[in-house]
Structure 1
Amino acid sequence: MTAPTPIAPPAPAASEVVAGERNHANCAPRALLLDLDGVLLDTRPVMETAWREVQATHGLDMPFASYERHLGREFNDIMRRLGVRDADLVHETYETASRAASHLARQFAGIAEVLHAFASADWLLATCTRTCTRSRPPGRRSPHTSACCAHHARCRARLL
């Protein structure tokens, strides 16, 4: 396996550079918006653990791969596509198990360096995720991320 090529933020346009520094008065800020699950963090172990709990609690004989192929869709939509009844109850089990297994999530190799490169080049950074509405009251920010969600359907990000 080859090592990934280091990622660097794009260089500013010549019109944005004044004596080696960005001319903040004449250019719009640049922002990088990133998803958490599967982009910044490897949360697959968390999801697999939660799915095993769903299987055990609800007697489902459906492999994680069946669930995984629909990731990106709303949980209840995935359950409908898989023919799972009591989606709300299954979702509650999945969320509880996910929180309990959250310690298994890890940042992807090299992601910290990439974020530091963008931040040092004066990029604004923000995260976006759809997985937070059940774990805290709407509109309440997590102390560790800048993610804010609205009804699992649309995502709003607050700049760091």
Structure 2
Amino acid sequence: MTKNEKFELVERFLIENQNAHYRIAYSYMKNKENALDIVQDSILKALKSIDSLDEVKYMKTWFYRILVNTSIDFIRKHQRMTVMDGEILDGYLPKSEDEQSDMDLLDALDALTPNEKSLIVLRFFEDLKIEEVATVLGENVNTAKTKLYRTLKKLRLEIGEGI
């Protein structure tokens, strides 16, 4: 496969899945502007390193790894400095009892480390298979399963304490 063919496939993949990419970045950044910056930076990194994509069938996990690592790097650089726009702030104000349980989950997710959050977001919000999650995070499958189980247990304890 030529570099131009690979470039066209990556470009099509990025356009077709732009909402999923934004959702992942937003789950880390908690604001629209930073999430869009992360997606843009990730696309730039992906296009610059297109030669590192050995097999096109792994394009999704290859790009998700770039996206997750870019998000985590941003968080580390800015050490929890998150700007909340009004839309997000409204999302944190529960309007009913049903929404309170959602708030507990959001608070519990925010209490996780970036790597733990990656496990949950990729597995349950992006519906990746555990094998794909392991690939994105650069771990073997058994390690990813163990960490996912431990993180789910931590979430259950965190949510349980809030009740």
Task: Point out the structure with the larger strand share.
Answer: 1
The answer to which structure, 1 or 2, has the higher relative contact order (CA under 8 A, 6+ apart) is: 1
Q: TM-score, normalised by structure 2?
A: 0.34
Q: TM-score, normalised by structure 1?
A: 0.35
